[in-house]
């Protein structure tokens, strides 16, 4: 009887040991299984379309203040994600910098743009904005090239809005006479549209542009007028700007430099506070100045200069050739 009881007791102890050991074995087996991959993360496809941008805000948003109502200003972050992408050309060449975005809430009057309210401005290349549902006008500006489009934001529907600006660059290089580079800050040029109005005038697009600086423009034909000095040494030309390309134009000015001097006798001292006026051969006023020794850059040709001093006016005719650097004396006697 004692032997039977010992055998039963041994079997019960063995069963209890197996029960206590089994969770450890299961836990160890579970730990050896490979960990599950995180959810919500997609592998990046190297060949994915450039317009598929990550849905992460990367634009600076003006903080909301108590004086503003976020539901109307569009500056709250409880809206729908809208990604803006600027393209140089239709084939998808992205613009990586230099774009200014302005977002206007549609004021409900198509014939009165002033009722549209500016709700967002960004200088990011491709900002991701969060806008409440509604209609908006978005302007993308890249230098002088710009495009405005109307979009509709739907609640909970994320979108990517591409703006094809069809923009190119224009850079002017200025030379003087026999191919010498123009002195710094001596040349400025204006850019006009190719089309003329009913009076034959062109629309001025840009004034006082500097040589060597790239100007961003919409693709098309433009008329440029380059001025060396501040008078009549000008060169004009028509240029074509192509989308996605840089157009470089070299202009060569023919000019001369002349200094005026009013004296009481030849070779004498210059009289101060003299008022000067330069006239063309046809009598048109070319330039004016005040001083004892004013200097002017003029195109080659024939001119008349008048000097007014102490209530008297003195005149002299003169001619200039390309490359001249001369002094013209006007004698009071």
Give residue-wise pLDDT tens across range 123-170.
Answer: 999 999 999 999 999 999 999 999 999 999 999 999 999 999 999 999
Average pLDDT of the chain is: 80
How much is the pLDDT for 90? 86
Q: Is the torsion defined by CA of 73, 75, 78, 84 positive or negative?
A: positive
- 153 and 90 in a common domain: yes
The DSSP code sequence of 261-329 is EEESSTT-PPPSS-EEEEEETTS-EEEEEESSS-EEEE-SEEEEEEEEETTEEEEEEEEE-TT-EEEEE
Per-residue pLDDT tens digits for 172-201: 999 999 889 999 999 999 999 998 888 889
The strand pair at 325-331 and 256-263 is best described as parallel
Residue 146: helix, strand or coil by DSSP?
A: strand
Domain of residue 326: give its range: 256-331
**What CATH number corresponds to the domain at position 135?**
2.60.40.1120
The total number of structural domains in the chain stands at 3
Residue 214 located in a structural domain: yes
Residue 26 located in a structural domain: no
* pLDDT higher than threshold 80 for residue 315: yes
Least confident of 52-56, 144-148, 282-286: 52-56
Single out the residue in 116, 134, 164 at which a domain terminates.
164
Which one, of 323, 266, 276, 272, lies nearest residue 304 by Cα?
276
Q: Is the torsion defined by CA of 82, 88, 93, 94 positive or negative?
A: negative
Residue 19 located in a structural domain: no
> What's CA 199's distance to the chain center, in Å?
31
* pLDDT higher than threshold 80 for residue 93: yes
Residue 102: helix, strand or coil by DSSP?
A: strand
How much is the pLDDT for 111? 61
């Amino acid at each position: 009887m004692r032997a039977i009881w010992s055998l039963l007791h041994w079997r019960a102890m063995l069963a209890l040991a197996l029960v206590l050991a089994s969770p450890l074995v299961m836990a160890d087996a579970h730990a050896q299984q490979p960990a599950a991959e995180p959810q919500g993360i997609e592998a990046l496809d190297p060949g994915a379309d450039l317009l598929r941008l990550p849905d992460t805000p990367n634009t600076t948003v003006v903080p909301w203040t108590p004086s503003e109502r976020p539901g109307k200003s569009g500056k709250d972050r409880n809206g729908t994600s809208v990604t803006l992408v600027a393209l140089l050309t239709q084939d998808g060449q992205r613009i990586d910098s230099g774009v200014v975005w302005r977002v206007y809430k549609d004021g409900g009057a198509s014939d009165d743009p002033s009722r549209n309210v500016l709700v967002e401005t960004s200088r990011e290349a491709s900002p991701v904005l969060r806008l409440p549902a509604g209609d908006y006008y978005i302007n993308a500006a890249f230098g002088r090239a710009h495009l405005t489009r109307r979009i509709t934001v739907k609640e909970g529907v994320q979108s990517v809005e591409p703006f094809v600006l069809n923009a190119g660059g224009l850079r002017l290089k200025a030379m003087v006479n026999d191919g010498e580079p123009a002195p710094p800050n001596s040349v400025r040029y204006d850019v006009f549209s190719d089309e003329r109005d009913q009076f034959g005038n062109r629309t001025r697009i840009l004034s006082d542009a500097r040589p060597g600086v790239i100007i961003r423009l919409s693709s098309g034909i433009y008329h440029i007028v380059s001025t060396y000095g501040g008078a009549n040494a000008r060169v004009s030309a028509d240029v074509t700007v192509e989308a996605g390309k840089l157009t470089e134009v070299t202009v060569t000015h023919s000019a001369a430099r002349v200094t005026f001097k009013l004296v009481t006798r030849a070779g004498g001292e210059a009289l101060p506070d003299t008022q000067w006026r330069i006239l063309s051969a046809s009598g048109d006023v070319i330039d004016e100045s005040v001083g004892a020794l004013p200097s002017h850059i003029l195109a080659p040709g024939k001119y008349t200069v008048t000097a007014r001093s102490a209530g008297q006016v003195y005149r002299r005719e003169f001619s200039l050739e390309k490359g001249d650097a001369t002094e013209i004396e006007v004698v009071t006697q």
